[in-house]
Amino acid sequence: MSAGRPDPEPGSGIGSRREARETALGILYSADRRGEDPAEVLAAQPVPPPDYADDVVRGVADHVDELDALIDSYSEGWRTDRMPAVDRALLRMAVFELLHRPDVPTEAVLAEVVELAADYSTERSGRFVNGVVSRIAEKHRPTPDEA
């Protein structure tokens, strides 16, 4: 808890979603590096993760083939199986949110994935991830006017 600010209510607010995404990223990365099913890694957590992290991890696990095919088609010169594991996990999370979580604004997905890439991946990952996710959002997520 920060001085002068109450802890956010679980599952609400930007701060809690950010923390949930970090948790989901860690679980997805760990599962990928160990060659395990993300749902199994999720179930083995000593402390249950936030609901949003659980939703994202399960969603990525359930839709990984769909997500990877779409990422592959938009990541010029890269296939998901050749990407750094952190970038792969970030892209899967963001594309899952774009396709299957219409309650999350596109701008929030883009901002968070770029920030997480800057914090946890390489210097150039932010631009790469932003480019792929932006192109997918343009083609596969309606604008508020179209919705």
pLDDT at 4: 34
Low-confidence ranges of the chain (pLDDT < 70): 1-15, 143-147
pTM here is 0.86
pLDDT at 123: 86
pLDDT at 16: 87
Domains and CATH numbers, the chain: 14-140 (1.10.940.10)
pLDDT at 22: 96
Give the Cα-Cα-Cα angle 121, 25, 64 (nearest 5 degrees): 105
Give the Cα-Cα-Cα angle 91, 72, 108 (nearest 5 degrees): 25
